[in-house]
Structure 1
């Protein structure tokens, strides 16, 4: 199933996308799509609903973050060998972990803020997954069992803040709007192989990134196993899995976003996003 949340910011209602591409209102069934709704039993109950009996949402409402109450966002850096090469980095032997602030999360088509002091705002199309059941020091090979579903994400990064302003990556990754998620949470059963998904990103209609999740160094299932040894993963937690080549920092000369730019991205089966960059 493809779950979503629609409506004005702060007033979103739960919904789902039916097979005909219509948004169906779930607010008469559940109050919201929260971490409590992401376990196998809760998702099974929603899957048994008569979708055709749910109210159709008319028009084209704003879509919000597809899951309410996300507790943390973890991300993996340099997880595509060709992306590491374009930035002059050596791929790490173990996953490189950093976090993004919860306040960076926004809807899939919300504007992207260009902070007044930003000079190196970059893009990163990424596959994200959402935890459905708690994972702490889980046995190897069981990672996928803890995933509720997958989301499209853009790991926006201010490269000067990230690399030249001291401290950890989180500084350059966490401004408001730097983590658009959605449009949908696509349940695990609808993604046959998370390691075979085409992905792309365009800026002003020009292709910048084109890749496939098959070239990840550390695969999705392993990442859940691995991270659970260090961090307890709770329902609703989001993990971003890295980006393929084509980021602005890797271009010669580097190219970064400016006010008025339009960023479009997508992943097979997970939908698309469109952002206009707006100056603060």
Structure 2
């Protein structure tokens, strides 16, 4: 399986589908295999990514990329679990004098809170404090509970990018939780592709960067994460069974808008890009929600 294998979920002529993106266009595998695997979630569950990539890589594209709209790579995942404060400089941003925590800080997001690559992030009327957080997301491919760190990466099917957009003042809307500020509809994004996981070298030292209107706001490397991919999977699977299609968003570097002096929030017309080695560029503009 080539390192350039790019699975994609899309909407084409008002029809949801999935397939392979090539330099020349989209190979629509949902037309060929949709009766068997309605979406990429079922492909992941069947452990069929590698076989499909090998079998179909030389097929002629069915339509150009600009004729379709990107959807989030895995539709309707059972769980989206996000890790907070997972880079050392990010921990220092809190200026609370505390060392990095002993275990990952976690919260959940709902699929409806994300849009695909190229779709607009939505600033809701309740707040103007829409912020960005560039991250790398793991897609689980194999069911497991109480997974050991040694075995953790065997449960990964692929990777994608995430802009874990946040409504900052709603993160502190109550006493103990961040759920509200993390789940406004359409405030984050996932994509553009599902890149199949090959081996640990693929993820050991990924350069991750977030830009707003072309200016670099966040930059770090996965080798510096406080909690490794292995540790995150092992920890999460202690309390919940991970199943194919689950998404784990692994944390953002320092530099979010909330931590700038003064804070800088996203506004309509801004363009946010999240880029990482081997995973492409996730790009979204910003608009106000239309009632």
The structure-2 alpha-carbon separation of the partners of 1:26 and 1:267, relative to structure 1 and needing over 3 Å to count, comes to same
Q: Distance in 2 between matches of 1:52 and 1:79?
A: 40
Deviation at 1:213, TM superposition (A): 1.2
Q: 1:269 aligns with which of 278, 282, 285?
A: 278
Task: Confirm or deny: 8 A CA contact 1:72 1:237 kept in the other structure.
Answer: yes
1:79 is aligned to 2:86: yes
Residue aligning to 1:29: 32
Task: Confirm or deny: 8 A CA contact 2:130 2:187 kept in the other structure.
Answer: no
Residue aligning to 1:16: 20
1:146 is aligned to 2:152: no
Residue aligning to 1:88: 95
The structure-2 alpha-carbon separation of the partners of 1:248 and 1:170, relative to structure 1 and needing over 3 Å to count, comes to same
Residue aligning to 1:5: 9
The structure-2 alpha-carbon separation of the partners of 1:26 and 1:8, relative to structure 1 and needing over 3 Å to count, comes to closer
Q: TM-score, normalised by structure 1?
A: 0.92
Q: Distance in 2 between matches of 1:9 and 1:160?
A: 38
1:205 is aligned to 2:214: yes
1:48 is aligned to 2:51: no
Q: Distance in 2 between matches of 1:81 and 1:3?
A: 32
State which drifts further: 128-137 or 61-70: 61-70
Deviation digits for residues 60-116 of structure 1, max 9, x if unmatched? 121111122311110001011101212325432100010012211211221011111
The structure-2 alpha-carbon separation of the partners of 1:10 and 1:59, relative to structure 1 and needing over 3 Å to count, comes to closer
Query: Aligned runs of 1:150-189 on 2, under 5 Å?
Result: 150-189=159-198
Q: TM-score, normalised by structure 2?
A: 0.89
- What is the aligned residue count? 279
**CA RMSD, 1 decimal:** 2.0
Q: Report SS of the residue matched to 1:226.
A: helix
The structure-2 alpha-carbon separation of the partners of 1:58 and 1:119, relative to structure 1 and needing over 3 Å to count, comes to closer
Deviation digits for residues 186-209 of structure 1, max 9, x if unmatched? 000177331311111111222111
